[in-house]
Structure 1
Amino acid sequence: MAESRRYPLKTDPQGMVGRECPNPSCMTYFKVEASQVDCDELICPVCGRTDDCKKYTTVPQIDYINSLIFHKDSCPITHTGYSKTPPCRDYVELPAKCVYSCDSCNKKFGIDCKKPENCPYCNATREHLHEENKCDLNCSE
Structure 2
Amino acid sequence: MSRYKTFTIAIPTDADGFVGRACDAPGCKQYFKIYVPDHGDYLHCPYCGVRFSRNSLFTSPQLKYAKEAAIEEARVYAINEFQKMFKNAFRGSKNITYKPGRQPTKRAVRPDYVEREVDTEFHCAECSIRFQVYGIFGFCPGCSCENLQVYDANWANIKRKLDTEPDKNRQRRHAYGDLVSTFEVFCNRKATRVSSEKGNFQVLFDARKYFKDHAGVDMLASVTGNNLLALRRVFQKRHVCIHAGGEITDRYIKMIPEDAKLLGTKVVLTVEELETAATAMRIALGVLVKSIEQPG
TM range (shorter): 0.7 to 0.9
- Provide closer, same or farther for how the CA distance between residues 28 and 100 of structure 1 changes in structure 2, counting only shifts above 3 A: same
Identity within the alignment, % = 27
Looking at both structures, which has the greater relative contact order when contacts are Cα pairs under 8 Å and sequence separation is at least 6? 1
What CA deviation, in whole Å up to 9, does each residue of 1:95-125 have, x standing for no partner? 432001111001110012x311010111011
The answer to whether structure 1 residue 116 and structure 2 residue 137 are counterparts is yes
Q: Please say if residues 20 and 58 of structure 1, whose CA atoms lie closer than 8 Å, have aligned partners that are also in contact.
A: yes
SS in 2 for 1:42: strand
Q: TM-score, normalised by structure 2?
A: 0.37
Match of 2:193 in 1: none
SS in 2 for 1:99: strand
Match of 2:19 in 1: 17
Match of 1:67 in 2: 68
What CA deviation, in whole Å up to 9, does each residue of 1:14-41 have, x standing for no partner? 210001112031011000011245x321
Give the distance between the partners of 2:127 and 2:34, measured in 1 at CA: 13
Question: Matches of residues 98-109 of structure 1 in structure 2 within 5 Å?
Answer: 98-109=120-131
Structure number with the higher strand fraction is 1
Residue ranges of structure 2 left out of the alignment (5+ in a row):
74-105, 162-170, 175-296
> How far does residue 128 in structure 1 lie from its aligned partner after superposition?
2.5
Give the distance between the partners of 1:100 and 1:53, measured in 2 at CA: 19
- Provide closer, same or farther for how the CA distance between residues 128 and 69 of structure 1 changes in structure 2, counting only shifts above 3 A: same
Residue ranges of structure 1 left out of the alignment (5+ in a row):
77-87
Match of 1:82 in 2: none
Amino acid in structure 1 at the alignment position of 2:24: P
- Provide closer, same or farther for how the CA distance between residues 11 and 62 of structure 1 changes in structure 2, counting only shifts above 3 A: same
Q: Please say if residues 18 and 29 of structure 1, whose CA atoms lie closer than 8 Å, have aligned partners that are also in contact.
A: yes
> How far does residue 126 in structure 1 lie from its aligned partner after superposition?
4.9
Give the distance between the partners of 2:16 and 2:116, measured in 1 at CA: 9
Amino acid in structure 1 at the alignment position of 2:42: E
Q: Larger radius of gyration, structure 1 or 2?
A: 2
Give the distance between the partners of 1:43 and 1:120, measured in 2 at CA: 4
Match of 1:56 in 2: 57
- Provide closer, same or farther for how the CA distance between residues 10 and 135 of structure 1 changes in structure 2, counting only shifts above 3 A: farther
Match of 2:7 in 1: 5
- Provide closer, same or farther for how the CA distance between residues 89 and 50 of structure 1 changes in structure 2, counting only shifts above 3 A: same
Amino acid in structure 2 at the alignment position of 1:91: Y
CA RMSD of aligned residues (A): 2.7
What CA deviation, in whole Å up to 9, does each residue of 1:58-114 have, x standing for no partner? 1110000001112235247xxxxxxxxxxx6522124432001111001110012x3
Give the number of aligned pairs.
125
SS in 2 for 1:109: strand
Give the distance between the partners of 1:17 and 1:60, measured in 2 at CA: 12
Structure number with the higher helix fraction is 2
Q: Please say if residues 7 and 70 of structure 2, whose CA atoms lie closer than 8 Å, have aligned partners that are also in contact.
A: no
Give the distance between the partners of 2:19 and 2:116, measured in 1 at CA: 9
Q: Please say if residues 13 and 95 of structure 1, whose CA atoms lie closer than 8 Å, have aligned partners that are also in contact.
A: no
Give the distance between the partners of 1:135 and 1:48, measured in 2 at CA: 24
Give the distance between the partners of 1:135 and 1:11, measured in 2 at CA: 26
Q: Please say if residues 21 and 44 of structure 1, whose CA atoms lie closer than 8 Å, have aligned partners that are also in contact.
A: yes
- Provide closer, same or farther for how the CA distance between residues 126 and 111 of structure 1 changes in structure 2, counting only shifts above 3 A: farther
Amino acid in structure 1 at the alignment position of 2:36: A
